Amino acid sequence: MSIAITNISKKFGDFVALDNVNLSLPTGEITALLGPSGSGKTTLLRIIAGLEGADAGAISLFGEDASRQPTKDRHVGFVFQHYALFKHMSVFDNVAFGLKIRPRRTRPSKAVIRDKVYHLLQMVQLESMANRLPTELSGGQKQRVALARALAVEPKVLLLDEPFGALDAKVRQELRRWLRFLHDEIHLTSVFVTHDQEEALEVSDNIVILNHGKVEQIGSPEEVYDHPANPFVYGFLGNVNLFRARLDRGVLNLDQHEKQTGGVDFFVRPQDVALSLTNDDGKGVEAKIKAYRVLGGRVRVELQTLVGGKEIEADIEKKQWQAIRDADREPVYLLFRDAKIYTAADRTWSDYVI
């Protein structure tokens, strides 16, 4: 394990940013710290870097206790959300900074520094920009300089704080793929903070979901998406229909109010809701279409069940939607292909499949 976090707690005044967090992050993988704002993810990243001191707990990096080490001795690369490039230095000087400031006996020669900086700039595809000032770069370019600068000191761990947060959608897409690609080349242990579940699912090997300063779940993207530990994780990773219903001997009964006893919580992702014009096996739920929105190749349909009046969102293919629209028949039938039932009492999940 490259990063071990034990019993870390941190308060800002009365606000609990981290509450007894325990984590081990595997070597050579990208881990995403995912959570809503205020969940403590950035604070955790800053504590790993030593930019913030924890109130309690310990951090060890590669088996060595780093809790009392100052940032400069921790050998972490840090990429800041707003890049924090040194405005008065050229791109070259920014990347070379960490090497140039070393004490004379460990400082590489000028030629070595030069080669190294150009190698890194080549890697981030900015070798032609070496003499520019940060103000002359676009957001995506700045972010890549920040990354090259962090990598120049050959850190043992790379930490990235909302690395794509300040970029527009298209650049963000590109940089995400590129970061993943880069990681597959250099296999540096990396941790990045994000509030965007899609980003976490796409880039990382490993996701840590935080909420209110606590770890909700740790796992691979597939694990946390398919087997969320609790309703928060389920809701946070992608859209989900949540409604309260009853199971009468295995048959779904929607005639159940929020406050009535005996109900269970159903979770169904919109893409697991199928629409049908017929109700062949009698298991479909009658619903009427309230609205729809065509999103490129897919269609988001808002429906309401006739029994119980539950609002359900379905995400279906355009072709299927066209068939349903052309038929122009009401009601339609909903089929839940993969629904999960959460029992709060014993915190367990069970599947409900039609």
Partner 1 sequence: MRTAKLNREPRWLKPTLMTVALTFLAVFIFLPVYTIFHEALAAGVFAYFGYFRDPEIFSAIKLTLLTALICVPVNTFFGVLTAWCVTKFEFRGKNVLITMIEIPFAISPVIAGLLFIFLFGSFGWVGSWLIEHNLKIVFAVPGIVLATAFVTFPFVARELIPLMQELGKDDEEAAMTLGAGGLQTFFRVTLPNIKWGLLYGVILTNARAIGEFGAVAVVSGLIRGVTTTMPLYIEILYNEYMFSAAFAVASLLTLLALVTLTVKAILERFIAAQRKIKN
Partner 2 sequence: MSKPKKSQLPGFGLTLGLSLSYMSLLIFIPLTALILYAAKLPAADFWEIIVDERVKSAFKISFLSTFYAAAVNFFLGLIIAWVLVRYQFFGKRIIDALIDLPFAIPTAVAGISLSTIFSSQGIMGKILGVFGIDISFSRAGIVVALIFIGLPFVVRTVQPVIEELDAELEEAAASLGANFYQIFVKVLFPSLLPSLLTGFALAFARGLGEYGAIIFISSNMPYQTEIVPLLIVKKLAQFNYAGASAIGVTMLVCAFVLLLLINVLQVYAKRRRKI
78 interacts with partner 1 by CB under 8 A: yes
Residue 97 binds which of partner 2, partner 1, none (CB < 5-8 A, kind-dependent): partner 1
R_g of the chain computed on alpha carbons: 25
In sequence order, the β-bridge partners of residue 242 are 267
Q: DSSP code of 107?
A: P
Q: What long-range pairs does 124-130 form, CB within 8 A, spacing at least 24?
A: 124/148, 126/91, 129/91, 130/90, 130/91, 130/92
Residue 15 binds which of partner 2, partner 1, none (CB < 5-8 A, kind-dependent): none
Please give the backbone phi and psi of residue 262, each rounded to the nearest 5 degrees, phi first: 90, -5
Binding to partner 2 (CB under 8 A) within 69-108 occurs at 70-71
> SS3 for 155?
coil
CA distance 10 to 42: 12
Q: Judge contact between 276 and 335, C-beta under 8 A.
A: yes
CA distance 82 to 31: 20
105 interacts with partner 1 by CB under 8 A: no
CA distance 204 to 32: 6
| Residue with smaller CB distance to partner 2, 3 or 334 | 3
| Residue with smaller CB distance to partner 1, 89 or 242 | 89
| Residue with smaller CB distance to partner 2, 19 or 286 | 19
Sole window of 86-94, 117-125, 260-268, 276-284 interacting with partner 1 (rule: CB under 8 A) = 86-94
Instruction: Give the residue, chosen from 53, 86, 337, 350, that forms a contact with partner 2 under the rule CB under 8 A.
Output: 53
177 interacts with partner 1 by CB under 8 A: no
| Residue with smaller CB distance to partner 2, 72 or 102 | 72
CA distance 350 to 345: 13
| Residue with smaller CB distance to partner 1, 136 or 255 | 136
Task: Name the residues that contact partner 2, by CB under 8 A.
Answer: 12, 50-53, 70-71
Task: Name the residues that contact partner 1, by CB under 8 A.
Answer: 49, 51, 70-73, 75-78, 80, 82, 84-88, 97-98, 101-102, 135, 149-150, 152-153, 159
